[in-house]
Chain A
Amino acid sequence: MTQRTNPLITAVLMVLVFILQVALLPNLAIGEVVAEISLCFAIANAMRVSQGTATACGFILGLSIDLAVGSPLGIRAMSYCLVAYAVSPIASMTILEGLVARYLAMIGMIFVGELIIALLVSIISVDINLGFSIITRVIPGWLFDSVLCLLFLPLVRLKETTGMIGFGKAKSTKSLKESLPPL
Chain B
Amino acid sequence: MALSDRQARRPSATLVLIACCLLSIVSMTVWVNEGNNGYLHKARDMASLVTAPLQEAGNALTSPLRAVSRWFGSNDLTAEEIQAIVDENVRLRSDNIRLQEVEQEAKRLRFLVDIQDAYGLDMVGARVIGRSADSWNQTITINKGTNAGVRVGMPVMSINGLIGQIESAGPTSSEIRLITDQRSGVAVFLQATRAEGILEGSADGTLYLRYIAMDYEVVLGATVVTSGAGGVYPKGIPIGTVQKVDYLSSDIYQTIVIQPLGQPTSYEEVLVITGSESEVGTGSAGNTKQLDSQPENLPESSLQ
Contact = CB atoms under 8 A, between A and B. Distances in A.
A70 B167 contact: yes
B32 interface: yes
Interface stretch (A5-13, A91-99, A131-139): A131-139
A27 B266 CA distance: 11
B235 interface: no
B24 A59 contact: yes
A178 interface: no
Interface string B18-44: 001101111110111000000010011
Given A22-B55, A23-B58, A73 B28 contact: yes
Interface stretch (B9-17, B108-116, B190-198, B246-254): B9-17
A78 B138 CA distance: 22
Interface in B28-70: 28, 30-32, 40, 43-44, 47, 51, 54-55, 57-59, 61-62, 65-66
Given A23-B58, A69-B134, A180 B3 contact: yes
A101 interface: no
A124 B32 contact: yes
Contacts of A146: none
Nearest to B130: A26
A137 to B, nearest CB: 5
A45 interface: no
B165 interface: no
Contacts of B138: 32
B17 to A, nearest CB: 5
A50 interface: yes
Given A32-B138, A180-B3, A21 B133 contact: yes
A22 B137 contact: no
Given A24-B58, A32-B138, A137-B203, A72 B17 contact: no
Contacts of B122: none
A55 B62 contact: no
A145 to B, nearest CB: 10
Interface residues of A, number: 57
Contacts of B62: 24, 27-28
Majority SS at the chain A contact face:
helix
Contact of A133 (B32, B55, B203): B203
Contacts of B31: 72-74
A34 interface: yes
B89 interface: no
Nearest to A51: B13
A71 B20 contact: no
Interface string A7-42: 000000000000101111111110111101000000
Nearest to A33: B135
Contacts of B11: 52
A67 B24 contact: no
A73 B61 contact: no
Contacts of A51: 13
A51 to B, nearest CB: 4
Contact of A127 (B28, B40, B183): B183
Nearest to A86: B17
Contact of B21 (A28, A78, A88, A127): A78
B13 A55 contact: yes
Nearest to B55: A23
A74 B203 contact: no
B176 to A, nearest CB: 11
A129 B1 CA distance: 54
B288 interface: no
Interface string A116-152: 0100110011011100110011001100000000000
A51 B59 CA distance: 36
A111 interface: no
10 contacts: A22-B58, A23-B54, A26-B133, A29-B265, A58-B20, A73-B31, A85-B13, A128-B203, A137-B136, A141-B135
